[in-house]
Amino acid sequence: MNREKFAWTVSVLLVAVLAFEVPQGLSAQRDNDYAFVRTLMDIDRQVVNNYVEPVDNSKLETGAINGLLGQLDPFTIYVPPSKQEEFDNTLEGSFKGVGIQLNQRDDGKVQVVTPIDGSPAFKAGIEAGDIIEKVNGDSIEGLRLEDVMKKVKGAIGTPVTLTVLHENSPTMVDLTMTRQEVIVPTVKGYSRNPDNSWDYFATDDPKIGYIRLTQFTPDSFENMKQVLTQMLSSGMKGLVMDLRWNPGGRLDEAEKIVNLFIDHGVIVSTEGRNRPKEVKTATAAGTLPYFPMVVLINEGSASASEIVAGSLKDNRRALIVGTRSYGKGSVQELIPLDGNGGELKLTVAYYYLPSGRLVHRKKDATDWGVDPQIDVPMDEATEKAVADQRYEQESMLRPTPKLTTKPTTRSAAATTSPTTQPVVDTQLKTGVDSLRSFIIFQGNHGDFTAMAIPKTKATTKPATQPAG
């Protein structure tokens, strides 16, 4: 980035940030702002020309921008042009490639974790557990995973041939596929069927559905609605929505998902210093028939996940199980910078739940995020084991038995072969057991949350509960 372009980028950044800080019409303040930019450029020039050692000017420029934004919250960031496409793809849940998740084993072999449903790799016959030996005829032995991924990626429409070794097969095979834009699925089920499709039921009697939403992307609402409609037609009696380890994403998708379950009332509101209060309310159109529902959360549930969980809790539509959520309740706007200067992701407002609770965790705060009505803590080791097990099950590396109605009589520590015993997901089990009890004794009638809350350990204060 040359000096003139750097000055322009800093100026635009400064104007974008201060547009939310300075009232309109204060021209003297604007003059001071631009005077700051001139001073910054003078410092840059003196350092580049006269510092005792040669300097990397690009590092100075990046440091200056990060220093400016570093005085704000950690969610306000500058995205340079070189990282813009990758950043945008992360937000949209898509990327360009063949659609495989890779892992490098301890022995250096690059293994396929899973092909993404419907991707070029999936259609070409790539399977979970495959070992990649060559890319376009070139051996990848000794390469780092990052370098292998660079070889696999490429321009849309171009072919790539992967030489792989299937599990339990002594012969390598060449599989050719064409690179394209791949959409990462965010709506996942309880386990995989033999044909790699999802089984969305955690139990068959009664039929309790399970959906894990990994991120809120532009197609999350439509995909979830389609799955829920299918499960209802298959006789679903209750639902567990798993939002654990979901970092958030599109707020508009979160609002539409909440509206699937409530036909009136406040979904969420946003308000900032330079942003008027905006209240999102539910409508009856498109709302699904009533069924009892549990939402799982933990400290990895953030942003849009907290909006869904908190709104369903405050509207008495779902029982929340797990541990307190992360507390990331700020609204960011993505501002394109002039002159191909990249993007500024700037915090402009906060989320507020229907009860008025601020989701965001501020410094020294004692209340933040969403508290579960049934608190089911996990230690760090167990939580990691549950996450790893779920990942393997979703990748078809391990079968997933249905949750049983029989009580657990033996702990993992008591077994003589702990490596073969599945880890008990106590949060999921608690959610399913709560639903099962309600369905057996109440059917699909009555207020599920009203029945369950008095009999469990409530972690929120009574004042935070909605009045009606």
As a whole number, mean pLDDT of residues 347-374 equals: 93
426 falls in which pLDDT band (50, 70, 90)?
A: very high
Q: How far, CA to CA in Å, does 322 sit from each of 56, 288, 362?
A: 48, 25, 22
128 shares its domain with 179: yes
106 shares its domain with 232: no
Distance CA 319, CA 454 (A): 12
What is the sign of the dihedral through the CA atoms of 379, 380, 384 and 385?
negative
As a whole number, mean pLDDT of residues 12-19 equals: 55
303 has catalytic annotation: yes
As a whole number, mean pLDDT of residues 136-143 equals: 95
**Within a domain: 48:** yes
CA angle 45, 50, 51 (to 5 degrees): 100
**Within a domain: 176:** yes
Range of the domain at 9: 3-71
95 falls in which pLDDT band (50, 70, 90)?
A: low
As a whole number, mean pLDDT of residues 203-212 equals: 96
How does DSSP assign 425-451, residue by residue?
-HHHHHHHHHHHHHHHHHTT-S-HHHH
Residues of the chain with pLDDT > 70, as a percent, come to 80
58 has catalytic annotation: no
**Within a domain: 76:** no
307 shares its domain with 403: yes
pLDDT of residue 460: 37
pLDDT of residue 115: 79
In sequence order, the β-bridge partners of residue 175 are 162
Q: Is the pLDDT at 261 greater than 60, yes or no?
A: yes
Closest to 238 measured CA to CA, from 170, 292, 180, 278: 292
pLDDT of residue 50: 92
Domain end residue (candidates: 117, 152, 183): 183
303 shares its domain with 218: yes
**Within a domain: 53:** yes
Catalytic residue among 188, 237, 313, 328: 328
80 falls in which pLDDT band (50, 70, 90)?
A: confident
pLDDT of residue 70: 83
179 shares its domain with 193: no
67 shares its domain with 38: yes
**Within a domain: 401:** yes
Determine which of 12-21, 117-126, 320-329 has the lowest per-residue pLDDT on average.
Answer: 12-21
5 has catalytic annotation: no
379 vs 101: which has the higher pLDDT: 379
193 shares its domain with 135: no
The set of residues, in sequence order, having a beta carbon less than 8 Å from that of 351 and lying 6+ positions away, is 251, 268, 269, 270, 306, 307, 329, 330, 331, 358, 359, 360
374 falls in which pLDDT band (50, 70, 90)?
A: very high
pLDDT of residue 243: 96
Is residue 212 within 8 A of residue 195, CB to CB? The reply is no
**Within a domain: 243:** yes
As a whole number, mean pLDDT of residues 134-162 equals: 92
Distance CA 30, CA 83 (A): 30
Determine which of 133-147, 260-274, 328-342 has the lowest per-residue pLDDT on average.
Answer: 328-342
Please give the model's pTM, rounded to 2 decimal places. 0.72
Determine which of 30-39, 174-183, 284-293, 339-348 has the lowest per-residue pLDDT on average.
Answer: 30-39
214 vs 30: which has the higher pLDDT: 214
Determine which of 157-161, 330-334, 405-409, 432-436 has the lowest per-residue pLDDT on average.
Answer: 405-409
Query: Which CATH number do you get for residue 391?
Result: 3.90.226.10
Domain end residue (candidates: 167, 183, 199): 183
Query: Which CATH number do you get for residue 176?
Result: 2.30.42.10
Q: Which tokens hold the place of 181?
A: 């834009």
199 shares its domain with 230: yes
pLDDT of residue 416: 38
pLDDT of residue 138: 96
pLDDT of residue 442: 75
pLDDT of residue 451: 53
Catalytic residue among 191, 303, 325, 434: 303
413 falls in which pLDDT band (50, 70, 90)?
A: very low
**Within a domain: 321:** yes
- Residue type, position 252, single letter: D
Neighbours of 213 (CB within 10 A): 24
| Tally of structural domains, the chain | 3
Q: Which helix (H) or strand (E) holds 223?
A: helix 220-233
272 shares its domain with 402: yes
16 shares its domain with 136: no
pLDDT of residue 462: 33
Q: Which tokens hold the place of 358?
A: 């601020």
182 vs 435: which has the higher pLDDT: 435
Tens digit of pLDDT for each residue in 295-326?
999 998 999 999 999 999 999 999 999 999 99
String of b and e for 66-88 (b: at least 16 CB within 10 Å)?
A: eebbeeeeeebbbbbeeebeebe
As a whole number, mean pLDDT of residues 280-292 equals: 96
Distance CA 162, CA 168 (A): 18
pLDDT of residue 5: 55
Q: Is the pLDDT at 101 greater than 70, yes or no?
A: yes
Determine which of 31-40, 311-320, 326-335 has the lowest per-residue pLDDT on average.
Answer: 31-40
298 shares its domain with 445: yes
- When the pLDDT of each residue in the chain is averaged and rounded to a whole number, the result is 83
**Within a domain: 82:** no
Tens digit of pLDDT for each residue in 37-58?
788 888 888 998 999 999 888 8
31 shares its domain with 99: no
Tens digit of pLDDT for each residue in 234-253?
999 999 999 999 888 889 99
427 vs 92: which has the higher pLDDT: 427
Domain end residue (candidates: 157, 183, 209): 183
Q: State phi, psi for 2 to the nearest 5 degrees.
A: -75, 170
Catalytic residue among 314, 371, 375, 425: 314
